[in-house]
Chains A and B, each alone.
Chain A
Amino acid sequence: MHAKLRSGWRIQRRVVGALMVRELVTRFGRENIGFLWIMVEPLLFAVLVGVLWRYMKGPEEHGVSVIAFVASGYLPLVLFRHSVVRSVRVFSVNGSLMYHRQIKVLDFVLVRFLIEMIGTAMAYLFIALLLMSINEFPVPADLGLLIGGFLVYAAFTFSLCLILAPLSEISDLAERFIPVTTYIMIPFSGTFNMVSWLTPEAQDAMYYSPFVHGMEMMREGIFGEGVDARWDLTVPIAATMVFTVIGLSLCRRVRRQLVVE
């Protein structure tokens, strides 16, 4: 049993590694900067939106640098949006790979998500260093909390992908609603504001948004005492667990009915 588990784990790692390389090559090619493109888009987004806000709102808001605040909010949002969009119909576009039994549909979801997550993390690091060098980004007050918050946020995003990937195979509706939903959720994601800046009623409502807690953790990790962060792990962990269970069972059901060309 133990040996079986170990060999399963080895195959799993091999498959995920091979799929990652394949995905990177097909998406970014081998020319010029190759897979480094993956961090260019979040980078441009965060910097340009940051600069825009800097001129609209002035250098500081609620005592923190506007550019740093926007960048730290936008990067996780980009992770969320890209992961969601890329999980649409991920089974059928990879249909030809299902000829190899050791590749499971979960691997497709995981690989695309991991690539987005690594890209975002790299972009985050790059932007932070860049902004630090021009004194627009503080040295993180608590790096562990920053990373922890990022992981909480990412885990919830992944659990959502686990549901969306199989749903998009069953019905086109899922795909149609994704753009508007990801847009509408921005105010509920904690991207552009701290919970403590809101009215008490709004604060109560925000407590139930799984994204907000990870975001507030990251903000506290960066700005420390400079912000009044409100977070706890109950809602994000519970939501992630429930979504994961639903997602896994959906994946299993959809795989059994999948027609592969």
Chain B
Amino acid sequence: MIICEKVAKSYPLGRSRKQVLRGLDLQISPGEKIGFLGRNGAGKTTLIKLIGGVEYPTSGRIRRGMSVSWPLGFGGGFQGSLTGYDNARFIARIYGHRYSAIRDFVEEFTELGAQLKMPVKTYSAGMRARLAFALSLAIEFDCYLIDEVIMVGDQNFQQKCHYELFEKRSDRSLILASHSPELVREYCDRALILDQGDGRVFTNLDEALNVYSAL
């Protein structure tokens, strides 16, 4: 269970502050899959970062009753100057896993071959996505935080993700920040629509997608 209570977040904007989220309440149960929909800048990524503990809410609190992955997007989680293998070794260490098991899974899942010996900053977006997914799948979390931008991989990668995430790990929770109604309809049970700092949860996806397209 993940519980967000009256979560608000604002960022400094010149002399005033930009209010991105205003007191949002949300609960995510084990196994549930929820899509965050909203326009650019509506706060989808911000909310994912708050749930992942990357940033802290300005007020309100977030309780995590299950293990939550780091937000899988382009940016964070890696050290660009280190190689793919070094990053894998680092992540194995901080999560207390055996490196050899992680390495084997990463090699197999990413199919990056010798590229894993190169610094991550030389990777394309798709290659980073492969590495990020592989590592978080190898660690095994109860809840995965996924920013849609990372779903950029080719056909083969998408199939692998689909199998690993939605078939093998169908009991896990998933939070997907997305612009794509199709993706949300395909994978999610519920949708949260973010607009003007407020969020509305829809259990009826058709209704949610109608509201979203009217934004």
Q: Is the CB of B78 within 8 A of A96?
A: yes
Once the chains bind, are B56 and A255 in contact (CB under 8 Å)? Answer: yes
Q: In the complex the two chains form, what is the Cα distance from A17 to B96 in whole Å? A: 11
- Is B212 an interface position by the 8 A CB rule? no
A255 nearest CB neighbor, chain B only: B56
In the complex, which of the residues A10, A11, A98 has the most CB atoms of chain B within 10 Å of its own CB atom?
Answer: A98
Contact check, B55 vs A258: say whether CB atoms are below 8 A apart.
yes
Instruction: Check A26–B55 contact: CB distance below 8 A.
Output: no
A99 adjacent to chain B (CB < 8 Å): yes
Q: Return the CB mask of B76-104 against A: 1 if under 8 Å, else 0.
A: 11111110001000110111100000000
> Whole-angstrom distance between the alpha carbons of A96 and B55 in the complex?
11
Which residues, 1 to 22 on A, are CB-close (under 8 Å) to B? Answer: 10-11, 14-15, 17-18, 21-22
Q: Is B109 an interface residue (CB 8 A)?
A: no
CB atoms of B79 and A96 under 8 A apart:
yes
Interface residues as binary, A234-261 with B (CB distance below 8 Å gives 1, 0 otherwise) = 0000000000000000000001111111
A-B contacts, 21 listed (Cβ < 8 Å): A10-B96, A14-B94, A17-B93, A21-B93, A22-B90, A25-B82, A26-B82, A96-B76, A96-B77, A97-B77, A98-B54, A99-B54, A99-B70, A99-B76, A100-B77, A100-B95, A102-B94, A103-B94, A256-B56, A258-B55, A260-B54
B53 and A101 contact, CB distance less than 8 A = yes
Pair B71/A100 contact, Cβ less than 8 Å? no
A95 interfacial by beta-carbon distance below 8 Å:
yes
Q: A144 CB to closest chain B CB, in angstroms? A: 35
Shortest Cβ gap from A228 to chain B (Å):
49
Cα A98 to Cα B78 with chains together (Å)? 10
Cβ 8 A contact of A99, one of B56, B77, B86, B95: B77
In terms of DSSP, what is the predominant structure of the interface of chain B? loop
Shortest beta-carbon distance, B95 to chain A, in Å?
Answer: 8
Interface size on A, residues (CB 8 A): 26
Interface of A is mostly: helix
CB contacts under 8 Å to B, within A77-100, are 95-100
**Contact present for A100 and B94 (CB under 8 Å):** yes
Q: List chain A residues, Cβ under 8 A from B77.
A: 96-97, 99-100
Chain A's nearest CB lies how many Å from the CB of B191?
25
From A11, A26, A101, A258, contact of B52 by CB (8 A): A101
Q: In the complex, what residues of B have CB within 8 A of residue A14's CB?
A: 93-94, 96
Closest chain-B Cβ to A50's Cβ sits at a distance in Å of 35
CB contact between A98 and one of B76, B81, B90, B96 (< 8 Å): that residue: B76
Q: Which of A17, A21, A259, A260 contacts B76 (CB 8 A)?
A: A260
Who on chain B is nearest to A107 by CB? B94
Residues of A with C-beta under 8 A to B52: 99, 101
CB distance from A178 to the nearest CB of B (A): 24
Residues on the B chain within 8 Å of A96, using CB: 75-80
Among residues of A, the one whose C-beta sits closest to the C-beta of B64 is: A101
Residues of chain A lying within 8 A (CB to CB) of residue B93: 14, 17-18, 21
Contact pick for B94, options A18, A95, A98, A256, CB 8 Å? A18
User: Is B179 located at the chain interface by the 8 A CB criterion?
Assistant: no
Tell me the bound Cα distance from A124 to B54 in angstroms: 39
| B172 close to chain A: CB less than 8 A | no
B152 nearest CB across to chain A (Å): 19
Could you tell me the distance in whole angstroms from the C-beta of A188 to the nearest C-beta in chain B?
Answer: 37
Shortest Cβ distance from residue B164 to the other chain A in the assembled complex, whole angstroms: 20
- Among A22, A26, A256, max chain B CB count under 10 A is at A22
